């Protein structure tokens, strides 16, 4: 034996209207679907005592069973009936409707200006013997007409005494789309733990989230709803807006650092050189996070190296050379001894000189040679020579290595013969 559960859809205009139910029966082993009826009442009485009726109205119901209902099928009938099965539906009030008002007890009616303000179409679910409400709200006159009573209430609220988007319930103006105590109609309570979304009761959002524009959002971390619905975090140029613990803040991108509410490059900003608030003195610039003199003069280091001896002055000489190098730009760099000379006379010299100043790294092709700045027991400058390699002949300068392999230019670069090595950076 099979049986089917059908909920009852009752659309009522008058608050006192009662739903009509069609019961199931089983005879001689035959199963018949239980059927509920959709009762669409088209007239009602407002809070002022005036009567209203909806004319030229066409409702379309989409879902497990589609239906089209019209107020004009029988203009003398105050009720339209339609059976619907249990399930999820959409009901739509088509355009072309008119709202009429009577002030003589229903003897005559006249059109009134009205604006539909509720969601259209409206979604609803029919449960077996369940209670569901769908609300259609109009702004028209001072009167409030609440339509609906039954399993599914299609409610019409007529109101102009409240702000746009709100309806009068008792002595208060409420939003029937979101008020859980008046969800879809005055006095319809969603129950504790539920919320009202577009006039339909729904389960509440998970802990830590809030319902904003029909969606559950994390108001503690959402930059579009930071600390509350619609609170948008803004970003200045060079920053990304973020939200944490319900508070807006900004983070910098592109290698910038936030200093005093602004994103700066601490590697080149003379007011925040190397860190926020570290300003360079007058006449200095910030290069690679360090304050350096702004000058166009040449920087030079010259050290005499002896074969089979470790230099005790070369590293100090090189450190003085680093302090001489300014922000540049430098267009010439040379590495020479009495046995050989290598020069770079292009703007690439700036890259080599700045790498020597900071103890960093650089590889450039200049004037047909590969210039390399790196580390080999301290800073190392080589030409056409791999890092920490003993070339013969070659070109290498390792002032702080602390052993016999201090380099050589035009000779061996490890345990080289005695020579005077000089490095120059010039504009």
For residue 250, report the phi and psi dihedrals to the nearest 5 degrees: -125, 145
pLDDT at position 410, please? 94
Measured from the Cβ of residue 141, the count of other Cβ atoms closer than 10 Å reads: 20
pLDDT at position 147, please? 46
- CA 200, distance to chain mean position in Å, is 28
pLDDT at position 384, please? 94
pLDDT at position 283, please? 73
DSSP-assigned states of every residue in 119-163? -SSEEEEE-TT--EEEEEEEE-SS-------SSEEEEEEE-SSS-
Answer yes or no: pTM beyond 0.75.
no
159 vs 166: CA distance, rounded Å: 8
Measured from the Cβ of residue 18, the count of other Cβ atoms closer than 10 Å reads: 11
pLDDT at position 400, please? 94
pLDDT at position 28, please? 41
DSSP-assigned states of every residue in 229-297? TT------TTEEEEEETTEEEEEE-TT-EEETTEEE-TTT-TTSSSSTT-PPPTTEEEETTEEEE----
Q: Cα–Cα distances in Å, from 222 out to 230, 247, 345? A: 10, 10, 54
Instruction: Map residue 357 onto helix, strand or coil.
Output: helix
In sequence order, the β-bridge partners of residue 153 are 133
Residue 97, CA atoms < 13 Å, CB-side half-sphere: 21
Query: Is the N-terminal amide bond of 370 cis, ω within 30° of 0?
Result: no
pLDDT at position 150, please? 33
Instruction: Give me the residues of the chain with pLDDT under 70, please.
Output: 1-50, 78-79, 117, 126-161, 237-238, 294-297
374 vs 100: CA distance, rounded Å: 89
Residue that is written with structure tokens 């339509």 in the block: 147
- CA 364, distance to chain mean position in Å, is 42
pLDDT at position 152, please? 41
Taking only the tens place, the pLDDT of each residue in 157-171 is 554 467 788 888 877
310 vs 253: CA distance, rounded Å: 47
pLDDT at position 45, please? 62
Q: Give the residue from 254, 267, 234, 424 showing the smallest Cα distance to 332.
A: 424
Instruction: Map residue 175 onto helix, strand or coil.
Output: coil
Taking only the tens place, the pLDDT of each residue in 323-336 is 888 888 889 999 99
Helix 348-358 / helix 314-324 crossing angle, nearest 10 deg? 120
């Amino acid at each position: 034996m099979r049986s089917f559960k059908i909920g009852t859809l009752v659309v009522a205009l008058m608050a006192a209207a009662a739903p009509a139910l069609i019961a199931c029966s089983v005879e001689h082993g035959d199963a018949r679907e239980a059927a509920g009826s959709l009762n669409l009442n088209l007239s009602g009485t407002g809070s002022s005592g005036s009567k209203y009726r909806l004319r030229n109205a066409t409702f379309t119901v989409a879902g497990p069973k589609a239906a089209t209902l019209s107020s004009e099928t029988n203009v003398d009938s105050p009720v339209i009936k339609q059976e619907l099965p249990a399930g999820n539906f959409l009901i739509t009030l088509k355009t072309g409707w008119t709202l009429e008002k009577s002030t003589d007890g229903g003897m005559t009616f006249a059109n009134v200006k009205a604006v539909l303000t509720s969601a259209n179409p409206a979604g609803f679910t029919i449960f077996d013997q369940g209670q569901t409400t769908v609300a259609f709200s109009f702004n028209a006159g001072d009167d409030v007409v609440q339509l609906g009573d039954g399993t599914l209430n299609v409610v019409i609220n007529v109101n102009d005494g409240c702000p746009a988007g709100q309806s009068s319930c008792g002595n208060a103006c409420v939003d029937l789309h979101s008020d859980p105590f008046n969800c879809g109609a005055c006095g319809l309570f969603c129950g504790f733990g539920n919320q009202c979304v577009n006039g339909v009761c729904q389960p509440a959002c998970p802990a830590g989230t809030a319902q904003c524009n029909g969606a559950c959002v994390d108001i503690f971390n959402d930059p579009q709803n930071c600390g509350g619905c619609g609170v948008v975090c803004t970003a200045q140029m060079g920053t990304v807006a973020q939200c944490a613990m319900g508070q807006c803040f900004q983070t910098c991108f592109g290698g910038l650092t936030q200093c005093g509410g602004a994103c700066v490059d601490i590697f080149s900003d003379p007011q925040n050189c190397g860190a926020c608030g570290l300003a360079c003195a007058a006449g200095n610039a910030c290069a690679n996070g360090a304050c350096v003199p702004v000058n166009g003069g040449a920087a030079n280091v010259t050290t005499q190296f002896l074969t089979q001896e470790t230099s005790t002055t070369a590293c100090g000489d090189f450190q003085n050379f680093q302090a001489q190098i300014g922000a540049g730009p430098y267009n010439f760099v040379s590495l020479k001894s009495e046995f050989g000379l290598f020069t770079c006379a292009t703007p690439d010299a700036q890259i080599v000189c700045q790498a020597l100043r900071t103890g960093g790294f650089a590889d450039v092709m200049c004037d047909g040679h590969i210039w390399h700045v790196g580390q080999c027991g301290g800073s190392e400058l080589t030409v056409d020579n791999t890092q920490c390699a003993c070339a013969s002949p070659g070109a290498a300068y390792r002032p702080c290595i602390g052993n016999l392999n201090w380099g050589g230019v035009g000779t061996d670069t490890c345990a080289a013969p005695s020579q005077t090595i000089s490095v120059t950076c010039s504009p």
